[in-house]
Structure 1
Amino acid sequence: MTRSSPSARERIVAGAADMISRRGLNATSIRETAKHARAPLGSTYHYFPGGKQQLATEAVRHTGEWAARVLRRELAAGPVAGLAAFLALWREIVVDSDFRAGCPVLAVSVEEPPTDEVPAALAAAGDTFATWESLLAGSLREHGAEPERAAQLATLVVAAVEGAVAMCRAQRNTRPLDHTAEQLRSLILATIEG
């Protein structure tokens, strides 16, 4: 059974995630996203009547769910396997884009919101980080980590990986991810074996 090709709406959301991961939210326009996704501009406004914030929110959720699926699958083999998979998916994005793309969740998180209210995209980013932390913490607890230690280590993993991705882009090499991977792996092993 073959998988059907993504719908125009799915292509637009994935295109927005890609554009945000490369340019950031403020430098990503609806028009450029439609062009990038090879979708008519009118379709973009049809599917996303809330405009750029709605599209950005869905792009963040799309990325969050995609990474969470990978984590859930790989964490079945334990937290070390989950960490390796989490690092590998970001490494692939950074390397395949020639260090031009990073994480759209982080990109949305670091830009100043247009108003004093918390925009939906920023709230979605917070939820995404929390989901990733929860998945990692759950696996750590299942493998013997104390609940508070598991929560703290999960936060460290997400923060370190996100920061390492940004450093890789700036330095145009994968050394930050490599160093982060080794240290986080050691911490996880010490936590679950100790």
Structure 2
Amino acid sequence: MAGDTRQRMIEATVTALQHRGVAGMSFTDVLASSGAARGAIYHHFPGGKAQLVAEAAERNGNDVRARLAALPADSPSGVVEAFLELVRPVVAAAVAGGGCAVAAVTVGAGSEVDDEAFRQVASTAFASWVDQLAERLAAAGLASAAADDLAGTLITLLEGAQVLCRAAGDLTSFDQVVRTANSLVVHRYPG
């Protein structure tokens, strides 16, 4: 049961990060969403908010990496199409006021937390996404350097599209990314 409480608190923190960022999330929100008692905070996270946020961002990063690992690797264009289909709901959630829990720890964390530690968590997560996506692209036949470049570009496009789509309140920027990415792959990496 204690493990369940801890996991529910981490999941509630991921959601809070996606909607309010580090500075906007509170223990009260996490406790209400997870159903945990107030005493559970420092029992499960003796490092307080910083530990809880770091673990939530790390967990979210691992979850995304696992989804990327499951992408089909039949062709480079197939990987890109599957990636863009996978992330469309994430970008749509950004339009509705959500966002990337990993990106949330890189901005506006506030003075009560260690920004450098959060930056490292985010850097590690993003690098793992690029590495995993590059692995799928390489498995689909791209040379390693090309796979690395394309994977880095796709992750950058995803994060940027979330910000632009949230600001605009629609998916127009993401639809542009989809058209451009698909065209780039078809022309640069046919097959």
TM-score for both structures, normalised by structure 2: 0.85
* 1-structure distance, mates of 2:78, 2:47: 39
User: For residues 101 and 120 of structure 1, do their structure 2 counterparts lie closer, same or farther at Cα, with a shift above 3 Å needed?
Assistant: same
- Does 2:2 match 1:11? no
Aligned to 1:171: 168
**2:39 is paired with a residue of what secondary structure?**
helix
* 2-structure distance, mates of 1:182, 1:91: 13
User: For residues 134 and 103 of structure 1, do their structure 2 counterparts lie closer, same or farther at Cα, with a shift above 3 Å needed?
Assistant: same
Select 1:52's aligned residue among 49, 52, 55. Answer: 49
* 1-structure distance, mates of 2:18, 2:135: 28
TM-score for both structures, normalised by structure 1: 0.84
* 2-structure distance, mates of 1:171, 1:80: 28
CA contact (8 A) 1:141 1:150 kept: yes
Alpha-carbon offset, residue 83 of structure 1: 3.6
Query: Which range is displaced more, 81-90 or 147-156?
Result: 81-90
**2:70 is paired with a residue of what secondary structure?**
helix
* 2-structure distance, mates of 1:107, 1:38: 23
Aligned to 1:149: 146
* 1-structure distance, mates of 2:31, 2:80: 34
**1:22 is paired with a residue of what secondary structure?**
helix
* Per-residue CA distance 1:70-111 (angstroms, 9 max, x = gap): 111114445444444443444324535761101011111233
- Does 2:92 match 1:109? no
CA contact (8 A) 1:90 1:102 kept: no
* 1-structure distance, mates of 2:34, 2:153: 34
Higher RCO (CA 8 Å, separation ≥ 6 residues): 2
**1:145 is paired with a residue of what secondary structure?**
coil
Q: Which runs of 5+ in 1 are unaligned?
A: 1-5
Aligned to 2:67: 70
Select 1:99's aligned residue among 96, 106, 118. Answer: 96
CA contact (8 A) 1:30 1:51 kept: no
CA contact (8 A) 2:96 2:169 kept: yes
Alpha-carbon offset, residue 143 of structure 1: 2.7
* 1-structure distance, mates of 2:82, 2:14: 20
CA contact (8 A) 1:54 1:121 kept: no
Aligned to 1:3: none
* Letter of the 2:127 counterpart: A
User: For residues 107 and 69 of structure 1, do their structure 2 counterparts lie closer, same or farther at Cα, with a shift above 3 Å needed?
Assistant: same
* 1-structure distance, mates of 2:36, 2:76: 39
* 1-structure distance, mates of 2:73, 2:48: 38
CA contact (8 A) 1:87 1:177 kept: no
Identity of aligned residues (%): 30
How many residue pairs match? The answer is: 189
